A = this chain, B = another copy of it.
Amino acid sequence: MPELRRDPIVGRWVIISTERSRRPSDFKPEPVVVRATSCVFCPGHEDKTPPEILALRLPGSAPNTPGWSLRVVANKFPALRIEGDLAPSGEGLFDRMNGVGAHEVVIETPDHTASLATLPADAVADVLLAYRERLSDLKKDPRFEYVLVFKNHGEAAGASLEHPHSQLIATPIIPIMVSEELSGSAQYFQMKERCVWCDVVRQERRSGHRMIVEAHGFAALAPFAPRFPFETWILPTRHRSAFEDSDVDELRGLAEVLGTVLRRLNRVLEGPPFNFMLHTAPLREPALEHFHWHLEVIPKLTRVAGFEWGSGFFINPMLPEDAAAALREEAE
């Protein structure tokens, strides 16, 4: 019998379709292959990107030259533009404003063929520290309400360049996905005086059904009502609302757990394309009792089609309990 499951935070219903159920080996993701050996993000091509905003470099190396282990640059084809004011205006019953924002690229490593799954934990921690640094810096711009950090890995997951990179987009509006989490979790807190994500971690730890790994102060788990097969959330086990308030040790712990999760996904699903998205509190918020930052990892295994676009329901052909079990068994 298929099941309807409700996400306890945003209230979204998903259909877990056991009729269409699958084993991990039944998914045939479009494999992520590295075709080129060199690209505009590779060392020696620093002049092909906008100038670096941030870089980790060998002592003495000049900006925008080789000698770096990580670079952050503006996106050459930005979705939003850094210059100007919002200048909101109407057109009859419609509302518009200028597309003001920031769109940056984190070039995670000089190695074209590496990935967050294969990089050493220290290098992954550097990527996370770069996110923290850029969040803290963009916070100073009063035009921005939010910074969404995300990664597209593999062409099927929307990556247009194969060199390991992630992106961040600062927006003048709090994204709807985040405001739904904020209001859902505030409502929960009002009833219970507890953070809903803290409660989820406690329940998953007790039952064990959907826990994938808990280590270094982080839990990786399959959510109760996942939109996608093998959807995985990684969150600090201690309550924290703002990612950018994490200290180096915490980010080092996240690097370990993120690496573990990505390696296990690679083994179980044979190197699938994936996205991850960081949900942290909006820039202007003080520490929030009800909101808990987390990273959502979604392998790209299924197609979203008319039913999903029209209804907002997702049909997931895999029980999260089965996905978590497969990823748990893949111990390193």
CA distance A310 to B293 in the complex (A): 13
CA distance A40 to B279 in the complex (A): 45
CA distance A93 to B8 in the complex (A): 7
Interface string of A284-323 (1 = CB under 8 A from B): 0000000000001010000111110111110100000000
A35 at the interface (CB under 8 A from B): no
Interface string of A28-43 (1 = CB under 8 A from B): 0000000000000000
A115 at the interface (CB under 8 A from B): no
A50 at the interface (CB under 8 A from B): no
Q: Secondary structure at chain A's binding surface: helix, strand, loop or mixed?
A: mixed
A146 to B, closest residue via Cβ: B311
Within 8 Å by CB of A175, from B1, B79, B203, B313, lies B313
A306 touches B175 (CB 8 A): no
With a cutoff of 8 Å between Cβ atoms, the chain B residues found around residue A199 in the complex are 93
Interface size class of A (residues with CB under 8 A): 35 or more
A138 at the interface (CB under 8 A from B): no
A150 to B, closest residue via Cβ: B306
CA distance A225 to B91 in the complex (A): 12
Interface string of A72-108 (1 = CB under 8 A from B): 0000011111001010000111111111000000000
A6 at the interface (CB under 8 A from B): yes
